[in-house]
């Protein structure tokens, strides 16, 4: 679903932050992306989300070279990818329910057509009683789950989660991991960027370790 | 959309009611500082409507002058020693009346001619002592004017020292003046619209930078540029419509008050001066329709400008993101 072929990326005239990356993200796969802080995990996630273009090499998402995709076609491709940001990026003037429903709203769907799905999903992530609450009132863990629910609501083919357990305690981190596994079982390819070793030790999954701009993969 | 004030959901396996608030707008109205923009647009619209009114007024005045002048032509005969001036005048009048379109012809008698010259030459003037030209005023049908060239030729052949003045020079000058005024007015209108567009561009960019987080989230959840634009467009359209309406109504009121003043100050020196310069201070139905059109055009132009600005801004965001050298 995502193919990297000898990809390198540098900012301006600076050194390459990513070097010679060659890997793929197969359909229905589950992997962790890890490495020390500043190793380029977020940059790599942004490349996969088509928010950045490589300085060299090829990145193909859903079989299309991201450097040749016309700008108008990007939103439709991005809709097939769910993304969870480290800083949640929830809209403070919308309730939890409205934030989670946002991807469906921008697709022009009628509220009546998705209301039940959003409520079900919010219950599934444990936010059934926080639907009418605005993000500033939510705790870090609740915000995290709301952000995850927003990424999942349109059943993406790929889920990119950047440090999804960075703001939660260990029990909640385990719960979120179970949630990702369940999603993976339903057919979504999951990529979790984390430096939480204890989280990775909980399951036997593919590990992509980014260090010094290079990537090592342990299947 | 959730247009019900209370939405009740009964989930399977649970009897608990879930009440949702009416769906909030994606871009809250409070996030866009519209009052100053509305004020600027109302000023622009006021100026545009005033310009339009002034153009219509000048055009009406010019066309009324033109119509008054083109309703008459003058045959002028210069006296000469030994010439029977009265006979020449009668001959000229008769020739003029033979042409289709010449409705009436009157010889300006000596008394009337003396009165015409009175301001310059004083009373008790004896016209026989001075070689003063005499006039025949021919009233013509504006709809089917006579053949001036033919009339001029016929007069030249039969009447001595004759000159036919069809006022064409005056009419041409007036038409040129009216056209110049209209062009200047249209240029001012274009400038006002350009200033409005630029103001809206700056305001939209300001609003976008203030709502950057919303644009970014919408972008990440797969919103198309046109969808994001529509959310901002609606706000700016309403702001512009209110502002333009306020400006348009103020301009219409200004004209109505001026017209009221002019009609209630008839025969005063101030009113006479103003009327001579500006005509009747009336925009007429066309003017009010034009003012309404300006209001609508301003609002639509603002909405369109907002749309283009938002789409361009989103494209710039994409460009910055897709170029690692510009990304942070």
Task: Give the model confidence (pLDDT) of B48-65 as tens digits.
Answer: 888 888 888 877 777 777
CA gap B305, B194 in Å, rounded:
11
User: How far is A205 from B3, CA to CA, in rounded Å?
Assistant: 45
Measure in Å the smallest separation between the Cα of B218 and chain A Cα atoms. 8
Nearest CA in chain A to B223: A106
Q: List B262's β-bridge partners, or say none.
A: none
Residue B280 has pLDDT above 70, yes or no: no
Mean pLDDT of chain B: 79
pLDDT of chain A along its 219 residues, tens only?
A: 899 999 998 887 788 889 999 999 999 999 999 988 888 888 898 889 888 888 899 999 998 888 888 888 888 888 899 999 888 899 999 999 999 999 999 888 888 899 999 999 999 888 888 999 999 999 888 998 899 999 989 889 999 998 888 777 788 788 888 888 988 998 899 999 988 888 888 888 899 999 888 888 887
**pLDDT recorded at residue B302:** 83
Task: Give Cα B257 distance to the centre of its chain.
Answer: 18
A76 and B CB contact within 8 Å: yes
Q: Which pLDDT band, with edges at 50, 70 and 90, does B146 fall under?
A: confident
The residues of B whose Cβ lies within 8 A of any Cβ of A are 1-2, 7, 9, 11, 18-21, 23-24, 26, 28, 31, 213-214, 216-225, 227, 315, 318, 321-325, 327
User: Nearest chain B Cα to A17, which residue?
Assistant: B324
A10 interaction partners in chain B (CB closer than 8 Å): 324
**What pLDDT, on a 0 to 100 scale, did the predictor assign at position B239?**
87
**Residue extents of the structural domains in chain A:** 2-218
Nearest CB among B2, B11, B21 relative to A132 is that of B21
**Would the CB atoms of B21 and A10 count as touching at under 8 Å?**
no
Which residues lie below 8 Å from residue B185, measured CB to CB, with a gap of 6+?
B51, B52, B54, B55, B58
d(CA B171, CA B185): 21
pLDDT > 90: percent of chain B = 5
pLDDT classification of B9: cutoffs 50, 70, 90: very low
B22-38 pLDDT, tens digit each: 888 888 777 666 677 78
Which architecture characterizes domain A2-218 according to CATH? 3-Layer(aba) Sandwich (3.40)
Domain layout of chain B by residue ranges: 34-66+178-318, 79-160
Tens-digit pLDDT profile for residues A42-68: 889 888 988 888 889 999 999 888 888
At residue B269, the pLDDT reads: 64
| Strands of B102-107's sheet in order across | B102-107, B134-140, B72-77, B162-165
Look at residue A134 in the predicted model and tell me its pLDDT. Answer: 94
Position B3 scores a pLDDT of 40
- CA angle in degrees (0–180, nearest 5) for B313-B216-A6: 95
Q: Is the pLDDT confidence value at B281 over 90?
A: no
Contacts of A96 (CB under 8 A, 6+ apart): A122, A127, A130, A131, A132, A133, A134, A135, A138, A142, A146
Partners of residue A81 on adjacent β-strands: A158
pLDDT of residue A189: 94
pLDDT digits (tens, 9 = 90+) for B62-96: 777 767 667 888 999 988 888 888 888 999 999 98
Across B199-210, average pLDDT? 76
Element (H, E) at A217: strand A214-218
CA-to-CA distance for B44 and B245, rounded, in angstroms?
A: 11
- CA B9, B10, B11, B12 torsion: positive or negative? negative
The CB-side HSE value for A133 (13 A sphere, CA atoms) comes to: 14
B12 confidence band (pLDDT: 50, 70, 90): very low
Tell me what pLDDT residue B37 has: 79
pLDDT of residue A192: 93
pLDDT score, position A85: 86
């Amino acid at each position: 679903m995502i193919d990297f072929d000898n990809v390198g990326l540098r900012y301006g005239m600076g050194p390459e932050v990513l070097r010679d990356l060659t890997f793929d993200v197969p359909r229905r796969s589950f992997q962790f992306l890890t490495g020390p802080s500043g190793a380029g995990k977020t940059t790599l996630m942004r490349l996969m989300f088509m928010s950045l273009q490589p300085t060299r090499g090829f990145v193909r998402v859903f079989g299309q070279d991201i450097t040749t995709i016309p700008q108008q076609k990007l939103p439709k491709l991005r809709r097939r990818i769910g993304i969870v940001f480290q800083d949640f990026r929830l809209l403070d003037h919308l309730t939890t329910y409205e934030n989670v429903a946002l991807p469906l709203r921008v697709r022009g769907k009628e509220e009546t057509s998705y209301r039940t799905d959003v409520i079900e999903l919010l219950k599934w992530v444990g936010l059934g009683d926080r639907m009418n609450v605005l993000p500033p009132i939510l705790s870090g863990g609740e915000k995290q789950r709301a952000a995850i629910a927003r990424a999942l609501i349109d059943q993406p083919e790929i889920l990119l989660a950047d440090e999804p357990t960075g703001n939660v305690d260990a029990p909640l981190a385990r719960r979120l991991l179970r949630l990702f596994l369940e999603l993976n079982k339903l057919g979504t390819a999951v990529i979790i960027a984390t430096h939480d070793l204890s989280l990775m030790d909980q399951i036997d999954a593919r590990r992509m370790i980014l260090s010094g701009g290079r990537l090592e993969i342990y299947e | 959309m959730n247009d019900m004030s209370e939405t009740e959901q009964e989930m399977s396996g649970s009897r608990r009611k879930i009440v949702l608030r009416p769906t909030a707008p994606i871009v809250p109205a409070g996030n866009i500082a519209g009052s100053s923009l509305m004020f600027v647009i109302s000023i622009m619209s006021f100026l545009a409507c005033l310009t339009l009114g002034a153009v219509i007024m000048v055009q009406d005045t010019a066309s009324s002058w033109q119509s008054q002048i083109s309703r008459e032509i003058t045959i002028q005969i210069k006296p000469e020693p030994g010439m029977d001036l009265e006979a020449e005048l009668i001959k000229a009048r008769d020739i003029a009346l033979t042409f289709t379109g010449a409705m009436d012809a009157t010889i300006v008698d000596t008394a009337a001619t003396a009165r015409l010259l009175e301001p310059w030459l004083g009373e008790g003037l004896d016209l026989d002592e001075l070689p003063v030209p005499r006039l025949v005023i021919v009233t013509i049908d504006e709809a089917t004017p006579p053949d001036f060239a033919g009339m001029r030729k016929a007069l030249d052949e039969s009447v001595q020292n004759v000159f036919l003045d069809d006022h064409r020079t005056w009419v041409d000058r007036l038409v040129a003046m009216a056209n110049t005024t209209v062009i200047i007015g249209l240029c001012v209108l274009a400038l006002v619209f350009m200033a409005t567009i630029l103001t809206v561009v700056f305001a939209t960019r300001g609003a976008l930078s203030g709502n950057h987080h919303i644009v970014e989230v919408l972008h990440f959840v797969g919103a198309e540029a046109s969808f994001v634009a529509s959310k901002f467009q609606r706000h700016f359209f309403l702001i512009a419509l209110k502002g333009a309406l306020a400006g348009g109504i103020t301009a219409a009121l200004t004209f109505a008050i001026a017209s009221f003043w002019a009609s209630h100050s008839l025969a005063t020196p101030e009113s006479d001066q103003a009327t001579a310069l500006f005509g009747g201070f009336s925009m007429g139905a066309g003017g009010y329709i034009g003012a309404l059109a300006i209001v609508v055009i301003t609002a639509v132009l603002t909405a369109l400008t907002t749309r283009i600005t938002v789409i361009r801004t989103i494209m710039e965001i994409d460009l910055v993101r897709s170029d690692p050298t510009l990304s942070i």
